Structure 1
Amino acid sequence: MSSGAFDKVVNVLNKVAEKVNSLKYIIAIKNTFATLLPVIITGAFATLFSSVVFDAENGLAQISALSFLENLKPISSTISYFTLNFLTIYVVFLLGIEVANLNNIKGVFPGIVAVMSYLTVNPTFFELFQEDGTSIVVSNVLARQYTDPKGLFLGMIVAVLAIELYHWLSKRKKLQIKLPDSVPPKVANSFTSLIPTIFTVAIVATIGFSVKALTGLYAFDIIYSVVQKPLEGLIQGLPGILILMLIAQVFWVIGIHGMQMVKPIREPLLLSAIAVNTAAFEAGEAVPNIINMPFWDIYMTFGGSGATLGLLIAIFLVGKRQDYRQIAKLSFIPGIFNINEPLIYGLPIMLNPILAIPFILTPLVTGTIGYIATLIGFAGKAVVMVPWPVPAILNSFIATAGSIGAVITQIICIVVSVLIYIPFVKIADRSYRAQNQTEAA
């Protein structure tokens, strides 16, 4: 590809990136999941404590002197349940606030409107099947699938639609209740929001009722079956996660923050996948998902995007260029904590035809290794959401609740990443020397 053609491709991708990142709902979703991360991590660590500390069979509580710890297990179990199994409710609330903020509506009340709207489209009964085949209908309850990650996509759709409707109705002067200036502002604002709130919730509830009447299915069943489940299936397959990573890496290479580009797709799917794993692990059930957010961090982004911990080690081992070695020294400590912007923009990697190749290739290879190792049972599945800055080795051990196979697999991935980067570091050295000799001549 000629230089002019390459520049045109870069310009097109830049325009696409700018367009995507400027979309209101993309911004709102990214902000929502960034805010929600502490909730998921809290639930994950509560589950870890349940199994590692308070469990009488596998944890510290199996030691007779520490058997009293088993009595504390309900504390961690309660925290785990009300964080991970209410994930959709928290997302709906926060997303409602974010969309409202982008519409210049301040305060947390839109979050309540979003939650009310979401709840109205779901049934308020649960059919409980007994061992003898009979069933009991329990009324005035909300089944767990409507609050846990299974309801995530419907929740996001309803939150966006409800707040956009609420915003539109709030602008209609005929629907505004005017009170005298002597009325306190908070009271006046409450009455101003009254009619838009009533209409918003009523309209959303009517839509939910109509969907059930026309199709015989609740909106949850349709969205989960048609949208969320296929996307989860795609991202749980190796090709799906590799394509997502490939897109992120290509954007990084042209100077655009790749993780920000894939975040609106990655966060809902991978965070919900680890939440499901954590809940299953807490309940003593089979852990279902190989691919989740910790998988991405452990096997595909150690050292940062592009698995650049391998690049740092490769430069220290074989790199001769003093500028590379100096930048690597400055980038090493941040790199341990998976922060590699100094490396990406310092070497640079972006728009660098030599280093761009291993930068794109390495996480695809290491991700494949991690997937196969987990699939065959050598590495344990991740069950704990670990903050992304946690260093390699430690993050694989914690995320998998102590799987030595996962730690070994991550070490293998790091070694492989070094081997992939080494030839390209040498090529960069030779290219630099040849350029200097040409200039000197």
Structure 2
Amino acid sequence: MEKFLKWIEEKFMPPMARLAEQRHLRAIRDGIISTLSLIIVGSFFLIIAFPPVKSWADAVAPNVGKILIPFRMTMGLMALYAAYGMGYSLAKSYKLDGVSGGVLSLAAFLMMTIPVNVDGVLKKAAEAGIQGANPIGWALPMGNLGGAGMFAAILAMIFAVEVLRILKKYNVTLKMPEQVPESVSRSFEALIPAAVIIVVLWFIRVWLNFDIQKFIMDIFAPVKGVAGNSIWGVLVPIFLITLLWSAGIHGASVIGSVLRPIWLVLLEENAAALAAGQPLPNIAPEQFFQWLVWIGGAGATLGLAILLCFSKSEYLKKVGRFSIIPAIFNINEPMMFGVPLVMNPILAIPFIVAPLVIGIISYIAVSIGIVGRFAINAPWTLPAPIGAYFATNGSISAVILVIINILISMVIYYPFFKVYEKKMIEEEKAQIAATESTLNM
């Protein structure tokens, strides 16, 4: 195991570390993270609209449409917000104006969606004998502005900011005198890039009638299916994240940068299905991992934290006692660097194996319907049983599964923990003996 970890550190870790800091992936990560507060707040309106208690659900049923408006304006537009956040982050990484990068990315994303003349639709409906709707003019269809549009938002962001960068590099911009306020000067510097971006996407989307959104979704449809509804979509991310963490790399940051757009699409589809009163289509959005696998943090370490609290090693017992409270709230950095779990050949095995085992059990439980599926983005710092309950919109079986998974992780960690504990006790005794020997001299 030591040779394996050494190989990871020397061969596997450097390219993964570079991947985590690749500017486009970092911009995607930062832009999506910037939307999380809106997504979390919007998700809770799903709970209000569809409470887990039947009597409450019946009471709010007449007002479901009104209650869901914040959900539709937050989670339903997540790609819209992310487009700006990602563009801002990527532009700043190039030392360009972040606001211009964000606005141009947002404009590029919106140019991929053709507005609909609702008046014309209603007129045709009236001609067909359908009455009762009020004319409202032009409107943007919201279907591609939420999770379904995330890949298009990423493409729009890269295109817009790279156009801004290239034109700036070759001085194809409008320069204003120094006396002009900086905010006005920035706007004029973005004028030519804005024209290029809008004209190119207008020609592609309108005149060529090429649906960029549909094209991208068709490409990613197989990936989305594997990620959301197959055992490999569960096991591969778990393995890579824990493998990277055991070598000292923040695995969730690396793998999440690649998979989080897909996970958000899966969550948005589940949330939309819940809002429409339909069966939830996807098994494993990110919340599946958060509440059923990463219990106590990456590596399912809450079970280990409990074991540490009763360790015969004074050091491990202290680590366990100052780690247990953070672990309850899914923060395990005290254990990662206190035990340590990073670069620890003994505990690396259960750190990888325990999440894989409970991931398989959880996948089976959710796929066959024993445990409810995830449609709500509950705050990740909630204790796992509570977070699982909210994220599944009131599935008691999810709470029970969380508790079972904690016990399973404890069983898997236990033999390796005892081996490591024995090693630490021997080191402590040797240290005490060395100290006494020094004092007696």
Fold shared per TM-score above 0.5? yes
Q: C-alpha offsets along residues 383-419 of structure 1, whole Å, 9 cap, x if unaligned?
A: 2111111112111111111111111111111111111
- Determine the C-alpha separation between the residues in 1 that align with 2:406 and 2:174: 64
- Determine the C-alpha separation between the residues in 2 that align with 1:333 and 1:6: 29
Q: C-alpha offsets along residues 117-163 of structure 1, whole Å, 9 cap, x if unaligned?
A: 122233334999x99xx9x9x99543333212112112201211111
Q: Return the match for 1:170 from 164, 168, 180.
A: 168
Aligned twin of 1:142: 140
How much does 1:234 deviate?
1.7
Matching residue's letter, 2:300: A
Q: Return the match for 2:287 from 283, 288, 294.
A: 294
Structure 1 residue runs without a partner (length 5+):
none
Q: Return the match for 2:54 from 47, 51, 58.
A: 58
Q: C-alpha offsets along residues 217-258 of structure 1, whole Å, 9 cap, x if unaligned?
A: 5222221111x2122112121112211110111111111111
- Percent identity between matched residues is 29
Is the partner of 2:252 in helix, strand or coil? Answer: helix
Aligned twin of 1:76: 67
Aligned twin of 2:256: 263
Matching residue's letter, 2:412: I
2:245 is equivalent to residue 247 of structure 1: no
Matching residue's letter, 1:111: G
Q: Return the match for 2:199 from 175, 195, 202.
A: 202
TM-score, normalization by structure 2: 0.87
Q: C-alpha offsets along residues 9-52 of structure 1, whole Å, 9 cap, x if unaligned?
A: 41122211221122110110111121111111111101111112
| 1:187 to 1:10, Cα distance in 2 relative to 1, 3 A | closer
The number of aligned residues is: 421
- Determine the C-alpha separation between the residues in 1 that align with 2:248 and 2:408: 25
Is the CA contact 1:238–1:368 (under 8 Å) kept in the aligned structure 2? yes
Structure 1 range deviating more: 422-431 or 394-403: 422-431
- Determine the C-alpha separation between the residues in 1 that align with 2:257 and 2:377: 18
| 1:7 to 1:181, Cα distance in 2 relative to 1, 3 A | closer
Aligned twin of 2:437: none
Is the CA contact 1:162–1:204 (under 8 Å) kept in the aligned structure 2? no
Is the partner of 1:382 in helix, strand or coil? Answer: coil
- Determine the C-alpha separation between the residues in 2 that align with 1:6 and 1:107: 40
- Determine the C-alpha separation between the residues in 2 that align with 1:43 and 1:388: 15
Q: Which structure 2 residues correspond to residues 95-134 of structure 1 after superposition, within 5 A? A: 95-125=86-116
Matching residue's letter, 1:106: D
- Determine the C-alpha separation between the residues in 1 that align with 2:92 and 2:198: 19
Is the CA contact 1:124–1:139 (under 8 Å) kept in the aligned structure 2? no
- Determine the C-alpha separation between the residues in 2 that align with 1:155 and 1:407: 35
Q: Which structure 2 residues correspond to residues 377-396 of structure 1 after superposition, within 5 A? A: 377-396=369-388
- Determine the C-alpha separation between the residues in 2 that align with 1:191 and 1:281: 45
Is the CA contact 1:165–1:200 (under 8 Å) kept in the aligned structure 2? yes
Is the CA contact 2:309–2:318 (under 8 Å) kept in the aligned structure 1? no
Matching residue's letter, 1:246: F
Tell me the C-alpha RMSD between the 2 structures: 2.9
2:398 is equivalent to residue 401 of structure 1: no
Matching residue's letter, 2:170: R
Aligned twin of 2:82: 91
Q: Which structure 2 residues correspond to residues 254-403 of structure 1 after superposition, within 5 A? A: 254-317=247-310, 319-403=311-395
Is the partner of 1:260 in helix, strand or coil? Answer: helix
Q: C-alpha offsets along residues 279-307 of structure 1, whole Å, 9 cap, x if unaligned?
A: 21122111111111221111110111111
